[in-house]
Structure 1
């Protein structure tokens, strides 16, 4: 009996090790957006607006206060006019003062290993930039805590604590670096003003009601500080982000970069350069400028007043004269590594592993905007031919608040078409394009996989 128990214990331990290895293998094959989506513990995590708490959430994990969102939408309309330069000062207020980010880690929430992952992510930000982190439980700070998924506010809110939520599926170093990146002030790479020169957004593979997540921001919102578009950025989503059919939604114009987008490991060289420029890490240096560094290697002056260039091996950056900078193990060697994607495909499938559990909890009715698109099989809507339905239970209330024509118009057009009166076939959609939220067309699109022949460009 004792021998049997010992054998059983060893076998159980063996299975646990195999399971852990499988989990690691699964995570390592996912892109950043896939990790974030899979980490959600409820479809409600993908809701656009939490009006009770005054929060808007877009692109899976980026949070804004209602005031921030209102300002962002206004700024996004100023590109190309004389006010752009003046408005850039406003963006600077989202950067952390004195280049320091106070932080706290919620007690009794993370395991020893998970706390170490948070620390490793912080260590890399401190190693590669002049941004420092100091523990604090009071005042203006970020707070690493549990949540419904992975998320962060963009930039410094400037009052009290602002949450960086890390559900269990988010607690790897690369994902934490990504969420800290939002708090530092980074947007997603594929929303840059110049993105159309480098990637093509394939609208035919994106459900109309989530297309607002591919909004391109103007130069009044995003300042690239002269750093080129970065396929390898820790802030870039993968090829199938928000796909409805498993096909690509983001296609690189240069195909050699297609497998690079979606980096989930750590900072790229250009991430580091951008953060150093954004926070003026070399402002105290004398006798040396970026012009002193090799331009053919995109060299820049780092926080130590030396020229930094692309790194090799495990480090994304090194001194241009060959000297090392730290010993980070999360770097991507400058290219983000090869990313393997294995999307779910089919005409009526569940696109999230949690669909059945969420459907059993009644989320098909509470959150139809997500569930009837990505959990069609679990919600039993495969053969449904809909009329013009609202995709959110709050649509009628929001219509009464004036959101149909206000700062939420892009979301409301495709998610609250009935309440907002956008159901007629002659209604316009984004930027004058025909509206795609016609119920029959929409469900034909998502259930048959037929391409919607609409070309959308900002």
Structure 2
């Protein structure tokens, strides 16, 4: 329930009349009613499909075609005599196809009117204006005498009860439903938000069924409001499933159902007799036997007269006079007493309301009870209150509920590309291939970091892939120079999240076979004997011992790719080509000979041997070979990763292979350990030959960043307890660091804004230039304050259920027990407290 009643009809407080010595209490009668003991409930069930097809007003009223369903002269009782029946006589015709049960219901209704009123129904002969009862679709009637045509009353299947017949006849006599009275808001509360939509989803389709009349187009015949009227809606009239649409403003826990289907109430009878100016109520079908002004009370041996509540029997024993309850101690009212014909009630000045005792006025703070019915914010003002909405919402026409504002429908949202609206706000978004910037509005095209060309290879297209970085969707292809083979992905594509698809690509040098050193010699440098060092471009020199010179096809060879992709050793050929097939290993021979006797006498050429001897057997003729050219071979490209927590890496530079006497490193680099920043740094070695010719070679050190960013601070998951449905929620922005630098931080929600009750997951993702990333994740639970459990009563039970804003409970006492004090519906409010704040009543033995 959105509001607690603040105005109470005093007519229900201990007002009764005595008929044959037995007190009559409306409150007790209502409490005894079982569920759906209401004529309108039965009518709604029978008219389920007919209401919209026949445009029935208030569920069971047909309007003449010239007036339509929204005519201006709607009335609680017809205000003009030309709509009542002449001389209190109503001709009636009952269709023969009416089911037997309907015939019985019609006769019982006629007997009720004959018993309690001066209205007389007669069989129609040739009258043009009469009531025609027939089997139509549903239960319905016209209002009053239509004029020059019959007033048709339909009693279909489900309508064959006395209560429904009495109800429809009362329409035909000129009466609308009780809750249509112009003063009804003093006695009942209407909840339009709980009214169901129409057949095609129109929210306000049934709102007109709760229209309130004006003093101009209606009359109440000076009677008090009648909760017990056969013409009253039930509490769930036109309501959504399980929802209450109409509720008494006095002790709503006592009034679970309104109206009844037993027949005319006392006030129904009084209104009919006043409209038709009945001076007396006949006690039998023979008017000359006995008559009373208001009520006939049957005695053992006849009748006596009684009066409706709020009246007293005059001394003549027939007439009734109104009791002015306000004349006696102001009816117990703390402020103003309003006397009615047949009753009275207490009223309060503006800005005050009646307490539950129905007598005392107290200052009203509507916002303290159910938030004043406001969906978001309630502001109390002198004598009134105002509803307002959170940012991102606007107040609906009902003045209570809030509607989301679609900021994206306005041109002022400021988003560069796309705008996405959500309940309570909006956010900007970007098209595919773009990322939202920190200002939350502009978009920037997504780029992947540049891919370095591998040593011994290349990347294509170089300008888009390595120099300027790549746009989303750019495809980069890697290839290797001759003598190298590709390791990793040949093709890599820049993805829309700024990372590269595929694996890191590099070119790995192919290896040549190990060389055999010459006899009486060796290979230089020593690494020529290391199988892992024999890469493409590796140069090796054959070296002879002292006194020996090289004899063979080549004195210096280079590792080079062959025709079919295999690797081999070759020597420079004509026009810069390499000759490498079928190279023989050279030998070392003496560089001078001495004429000396041989073993068998003849003289031969020999070379000095150990211990002064001469070696001379099988000496071949030496050959003339050219002097060796200066040469230099650089180390292979060096790949290293950054040091932990640093934006650089330390790499050890080793000297190239060369036959030069001294080697230099260009720039500020030195042989040994050096610090290199992320990326590729070229390294140039150089030296000078004896002829002062500069010889140089170049390699590179490639430093990659494999270290992920680190969130220095990340909020813990937390809860927010709020009685407001859309509270402000904020958190400290996480701090993140990286050894090289943060490229972008993305978040799933802004750190400030409104959230409604529920659970949320918040995620921050940080990315550095190398594509490494880290995640900060935490949860938020927005909770409404819970009410403490209500104690279960002794000799009773609590029946609890849930509504839009929380829980509500009803107390029921066990058989043989009754509650001590008033019964209320206890509602858990948004503040986490039960309303009302009075303790649960105790169940006492009857």
TM score, norm. by length of structure 1: 0.53
Matched, 1:32 2:26: no
Partner in structure 2 of residue 79 of structure 1:
none
Alignment correspondent of 1:64: 63
Question: 1:272, CA displacement in angstroms?
Answer: 0.4
2:184 corresponds to 1:195: yes
SS for the counterpart of 2:62 is strand
Please, which of 254, 258, 266 is the counterpart of residue 261 of structure 1? 258
Q: Give the structure with the higher percent helix.
A: 1
Which secondary structure does the structure 1 equivalent of 2:132 belong to? strand
The correspondence of residues 7-86 of structure 1 with structure 2, limited to 5 A, is 29-40=36-47, 43=49, 45-47=50-52, 50=54, 56-69=55-68, 72-73=71-72
Task: Tell me the equivalent position of 2:168.
Answer: 179
Q: 1:114 to 1:65 in 2, by over 3 A?
A: closer
Which secondary structure does the structure 2 equivalent of 1:251 belong to? Answer: strand
CA separation in 2, counterparts of 1:201 and 1:89? 24
**Residues 128 and 64 from structure 1, CA distance in 2 versus in 1: closer, same or farther, beyond 3 angstroms?**
same
Residues 92/426 of structure 1: CA separation in 2 closer, same or farther (3 Å cut): farther
Aligned to 2:220: 224
Distance 1:135 1:89, change over 3 A: closer
Equivalent pairs, count: 278
Q: Counterparts of 1:94 and 1:435 in 2: how far apart (Å)? A: 44
State the SS of the aligned residue for 1:143: strand
Q: Structure 1, residues 260-306: CA drift from partner, whole Å, max 9, x if none? A: 51211111000000000000011999xxxxxxxxxxxxxxxxx9763
Post-superposition offset of 1:248: 1.4
- Where do residues 285-364 of structure 1 align in structure 2 (5 Å cutoff)? 306-308=292-294, 318-320=305-307
8 Å CA contact retained: 1:231, 1:260: no
CA contact (8 A) 1:27 1:35 kept: no
2:124 to 119, 136, 139: 136
SS in 2 for 1:175: helix
Q: Cα–Cα, structure 1 residues 231 and 90, in superposed 2: closer, same or farther, change >3 Å?
A: closer
Matched residues in 2 for 1:178 and 1:200: separation? 23
CA distance in 1, matches of 2:43, 2:181: 20
Equivalence for 1:397? none
Match among 107, 114, 131 for residue 102 of structure 2: 114
Give the 3 Å change call, closer, same or farther, for CA 171–28 of structure 1 in structure 2.
farther
Q: Residues 130 and 110 (structure 1 numbering): CA distance in 2 closer, same or farther, change over 3 Å?
A: same
1:37 Cα offset (Å): 1.6
| CA distance 1:427–1:253, change in 2 (3 Å) | closer
Deviation, structure 1 residue 123: 1.2
Q: Is the 8 A contact 1:121 1:177 kept in 2?
A: yes
Residue aligning to 1:239: 235
CA deviations over 1:199-234 (Å, ceiling 9, x no partner): 000122113321211011112222111011000001
* Distance in 1 of aligned mates of 2:154 and 2:213: 24
C-alpha RMSD of the superposition? 4.1
Separation (CA, whole Å) in 2 of partners of 1:116 and 1:252: 34
Give 1:291-440 correspondences, 5 Å limit.
Answer: 306-308=292-294, 318-320=305-307
CA distance in 1 between partners of 2:87 and 2:220 (Å): 21
Cα pair 1:91 1:221 within 8 Å, conserved: no
| CA distance in 2 between partners of 1:116 and 1:217 (Å) | 34
Are residue 280 (structure 1) and residue 268 (structure 2) matched?
no
**Unaligned regions of 5+ residues in structure 2, if any?**
1-32, 197-203, 283-288, 308-312, 319-341, 343-392, 406-421, 424-801, 806-846
Q: 1:225 to 1:304 in 2, by over 3 A?
A: farther
Counterparts in 2 of 1:69 and 1:99: CA distance versus 1, 3 Å: farther
Secondary structure of the corresponding residue to residue 65 of structure 1: coil
Say if 2:163 and 2:261, in contact at 8 Å, map to a contact too.
Answer: yes
1:101-135 CA-to-partner distances (Å, cap 9, x unmatched) read 11100112221x43122111011112111111111
Distance change >3 Å, CA 62–CA 273, structure 1 → 2 = same
Deviates more, 1:236-245 or 1:203-212: 203-212
In structure 2, the residue matched to 1:340 is: none
Deviation of the 1:71 alpha carbon: 8.6
Match of 1:165 in 2: 154
Partners of 1:229 and 1:114 lie apart in 2 by: 30
CA distance in structure 2 between the partners assigned to 1:202 and 1:428 by the alignment: 15
Secondary structure of residue in 2 paired with 1:155: coil
Q: How big is each residue's C-alpha offset from its partner over 1:409-437, in whole Å with a ceiling of 9 and x where there is no partner?
A: xxxxxxxxxxxxxxxx999857x99899x
The change in CA–CA distance for 1:219 and 1:172 in structure 2 (over 3 A counts) is: same
Q: Distance in 1 between matches of 2:78 and 2:245?
A: 34
Give the drift of 1:247.
2.1
2:141 maps to: 152
Conserved 8 A contact 1:191-1:217: yes
Equivalent residue, structure 2, for 1:124? 112
